[in-house]
Amino acid sequence: MSGSSCDECRKIAIELREVWTEAWLSTDDEFRAAWTGLLGGTEEDLARAEEIFPRTKVANADRLRKAVMKKFEHEALTGHKIPLRRTAV
């Protein structure tokens, strides 16, 4: 996380790590490609994720969508950056 992070950034990062692990273990290659695309954090990445996430079979898709949207909303409101890096599973 950047030097301008806060407690909310840390909470969001923990939530993202948890939901990512659940999703990664329960999904297919299309989902993995969409998630990997989000690492850039651009508007195009977000649009691609919004397109792919709804049709991907992920056990926790709604929770994952909410966590990713919370990340983007917090970043937009604060200017903070929360990475979407995967951790080893």
Distance CA 39, CA 22 (A): 18
Residue 35 falls inside a structural domain: yes
Residue 58 falls inside a structural domain: yes
Residue 84 falls inside a structural domain: no
89 pLDDT higher than 50: no
Residue 87 falls inside a structural domain: no
83 pLDDT higher than 70: yes
Q: Please give the span between the terminal C-alpha atoms of the chain, in angstroms, as a whole number.
A: 20
Distance CA 76, CA 54 (A): 23
Cα–Cα–Cα angle for 48, 69, 6, rounded to 5 degrees: 130
Higher pLDDT, residue 54 or 25: 25
Q: What is the mean pLDDT of residues 1-29?
A: 82
Residue 1 falls inside a structural domain: no
55 pLDDT higher than 70: no
Host domain of residue 52: 7-78
- Which residue type occupies 4? S
Residue 25 falls inside a structural domain: yes
What domain count does the chain have? 1
SS3 56: coil
- Look-up: residue for tokens 């079979």? 57
pTM (two decimals)? 0.63
